[in-house]
Amino acid sequence: MAALNPQSLDMSNAIVAQDEMGRPFIIVRDQGKKQRSHGIEATKSHIIAARSVASIIKTSLGPRGLDKILVSPDGDITITNDGATILSQMQIDNQIAKLLVELSKSQDDEIGDGTTGVVVLASALLDQALELIDKGIHPIKVAHGFDEACKVAIAQLDKIADEVKIPSSFVKSSNATTSNADFNGDVEDGEELFKASKTSLGSKIVSKFHNQFAQMAVDAVLSVADLERKDVDFELIKVEGKVGGSLDDSKLIRGVIIDKEFSHPQMPKQVEDAKIAILTCPFEPPKPKTKHKLEISDVEEFKVLQKYEQDKFIEMIEHLKESGANMVICQWGFDDEANHLLLQNDLPAVRWVGGPEIELIAIATNGRIVPRFEDLASSKLGHAGLVREIEFGTTKDKMLVIEKCDNVKAATIFIRGSNKMIVDESIRAVHDAICVVRNLIKDNRVIYGGGAAEIAMSIAVQEESDKRKGIDQYAFKAFADALDAIPMTLAENSGLNSIEALTELKSRHIKEQNTHLGVDCLGKGSNDMKELFVIDPLISKKQQVLLATQLSRMILKINDVIISGKDSY
């Protein structure tokens, strides 16, 4: 046995002891104090960690939910009540709590809305599970009971869902723009889509203009939707924001907006009947593919090289002219000489346009992306009725608008706001509204908001629990109580007595057999969510319940956390 060297030990953190045979061993004080929970105790600690995270965003649920200020390590400030954004920017060290962040992200990626509600429901399920564990019920039994109760809740959602009418076609003019000034409340075509979009915006910063923003979201989705396949390509909808003006100035443009300007200040600021050459090749003379070294020893050689470059530039311009193009959009930059030649030949140009924007322009104008000047042809040009440069405020910030395009299946929602925080939060709000409309096109069934669906599910699960025997009965009751957390939180955030509001609503649900009754968060004087037009897509609510149940099952089945390289037992 190797001899111990006491000088090599940090005796401030360790002591040397001897066993009954006189052999020395070391006790490190930090390890002696370290407590590690196993089994049931570990499961309880995991539930408590997850609950602490959920309690932070619980107050952001509903139309009266409060916002959070998020400060980044660099000092940048974000103000939002979007659950996915709050959780993604929080610094969370606990591994179990990070699962809630992933849960919210999963809801956001799959559905786009309901990111706060899914975390609140998962937290409520874990709270109820903790009470059952304290009563001596094994976590695996609780997880199994939750899984069975979830099936009953989903079946009830299918039972109470209503179908909404989806427009068979998009009837608005493809060249129109939607703004608050245009909005007159006439939304007969796609009215239910408008109501659902409006519901998702009720808790957002744009709620003052939710009619305008809801209409923009519906028009944008319908303009790009494939109604036969029930599919929406989000790549065709672009959301752009620019600081300045007010939210009222936001509008939907049937076309594309890019944050660029014409490459030369003397180029025309407006091009009508634009035939656009969309290039991904650099506007410069070709270079050999091999490694080379070019030495110029006298003036004549330099002039030869200069003439070669000029001839190549002229050749490129001729290719553009022969194709019939009267405007150029290039993915790469070009130097002053090329820029001057484009100006001299009346070819307005835009440079350094990003790859995704190039693709969107090609789709909107029915053009082809051209990788070589030799491939240019009139059939490959994109067409737009109008391309114009617009300026903003005293800063003279410029953007390029391509509208009246050949292909109406491209839309840009252009958002204005007084500062960057409002613009960013408005973009997040519009994204949620677009996702809601997309979900209704995929599945046109809806349920009613304000906690009405959760109360209906809770009653159904409670009734089912009375038919069960054994431990499942406790799990079913716990699941029903967890579902009640959503309407209670909505009532609490709206300044109402949560217990009184929930008791009254449950009683009316049973007596009147009306599953449309929910929490009147805005004080409209009615609890009928159908009458108040507060609707949610069925697909969104289903996903919330399923994801929350799956996460709670996962956490209940974890009894230890092992960090590789740190713990050694």
The CATH number covering residue 505 comes to 1.10.560.10
Instruction: Tell me the per-residue pLDDT of 157-195, one tens digit each, with 9 for 90 and over.
Output: 889 888 877 765 544 433 344 443 333 333 445 677 888
Q: Are residues 109 and 148 in the same domain?
A: yes
Final residue belonging to a domain, choices 407, 435, 463: 407
**pLDDT for the residue 185:** 39
Q: Are residues 299 and 401 in the same domain?
A: yes
Residue 201 forms part of a structural domain: no
Q: Residue 31: is its pLDDT beyond 60?
A: no
Residue 357 forms part of a structural domain: yes
Distance CA 362, CA 440 (A): 28
**pLDDT for the residue 190:** 65
Residue 483 forms part of a structural domain: yes
Of 111, 79, 121, residue with least CA distance to 200: 111
Kindly give, in sequence order, each residue whose CB lies less than 8 Å from that of residue 361, ignoring residues fewer than 6 positions away: 256, 258, 276, 278, 329, 353, 367, 382, 402
Distance CA 237, CA 364 (A): 11
Q: Residue 303: is its pLDDT beyond 60?
A: yes
Distance CA 111, CA 99 (A): 18
Q: Residue 502: is its pLDDT beyond 70?
A: yes
**pLDDT for the residue 394:** 73
Q: Are residues 134 and 114 in the same domain?
A: yes
Residue 248 forms part of a structural domain: no
Q: How, if at all, do strands 327-330 and 270-279 pair?
A: parallel
Q: Are residues 7 and 81 in the same domain?
A: no
Question: Residue 29, exposed/middle/buried by CB under 10 A (0-12, 13-18, 19+)?
Answer: exposed
**pLDDT for the residue 26:** 55
**pLDDT for the residue 17:** 64
Q: Are residues 291 and 371 in the same domain?
A: yes
Q: Residue 554: is its pLDDT beyond 70?
A: yes
**Are the C-beta atoms of residues 299 and 391 closer than 8 Å to each other?**
no
**63's tokens:** 């139309």
Q: Are residues 321 and 354 in the same domain?
A: yes
Kindly give, in sequence order, each residue whose CB lies less than 8 Å from that of residue 302, ignoring residues fewer than 6 positions away: 296
Of 353, 351, 339, 352, residue with least CA distance to 266: 339
Kindly give, in sequence order, each residue whose CB lies less than 8 Å from that of residue 9, ignoring residues fewer than 6 positions away: 16, 26
Q: Are residues 398 and 488 in the same domain?
A: no
Distance CA 468, CA 455 (A): 20
**pLDDT for the residue 154:** 92
Q: Which residues of 379-413 are buried (b: 16+ CB within 10 A; e: fewer)?
A: ebbbbbbbbbbeeeeeeeeebbbbbbbebbbbbbb
**Are the C-beta atoms of residues 517 and 528 closer than 8 Å to each other?**
yes
Distance CA 162, CA 419 (A): 40
Residue 432, CB half-sphere, CA atoms under 13 Å: how many?
29
Q: Are residues 8 and 95 in the same domain?
A: no
Distance CA 192, CA 190 (A): 6
Residue 207 forms part of a structural domain: no
Residue 235 forms part of a structural domain: no
**pLDDT for the residue 175:** 38
**pLDDT for the residue 34:** 40
**pLDDT for the residue 153:** 92
Residue 203 forms part of a structural domain: no
Distance CA 282, CA 264 (A): 17
Task: Taking residues 84-94, report their average pLDDT.
Answer: 79
Q: Are residues 23 and 43 in the same domain?
A: no
Distance CA 222, CA 216 (A): 10
291: domain CATH number?
3.50.7.10
| Residue 283 CB neighbour total at 10 angstroms | 25
**pLDDT for the residue 181:** 37
User: Total domain count for the chain?
Assistant: 3
Residue 173 forms part of a structural domain: no
Task: Taking residues 132-146, report their average pLDDT.
Answer: 88
Active site residues: 82, 115-116, 432
**pLDDT for the residue 23:** 65
Q: Are residues 398 and 259 in the same domain?
A: yes
Instruction: Kindly report the average pLDDT of the chain as a whole number.
Output: 80
Q: Residue 33: is its pLDDT beyond 60?
A: no
* Range of the structural domain that residue 63 is part of: 39-163+449-556
Q: How, if at all, do strands 225-226 and 231-232 pair?
A: antiparallel
**pLDDT for the residue 77:** 83
Q: Are residues 354 and 265 in the same domain?
A: yes
Question: What stretches of 19-86 adopt beta strand conformation (E)?
Answer: 24-28, 68-71, 77-80
Task: Taking residues 328-334, report their average pLDDT.
Answer: 87
Final residue belonging to a domain, choices 391, 407, 423: 407
Of 267, 262, 268, residue with least CA distance to 399: 262
**pLDDT for the residue 477:** 92
Q: Does residue 562 or residue 73 have the better pLDDT?
A: 73
Q: Residue 378: is its pLDDT beyond 50?
A: yes
Q: Are residues 457 and 529 in the same domain?
A: yes
Q: How, if at all, do strands 24-28 and 369-370 pair?
A: unpaired
**H, E, C per residue of 515-565:** CCECCCCCCCCCCECCCCCCEEEHHHHHHHHHHHHHHHHHHHCCCCCCCCC
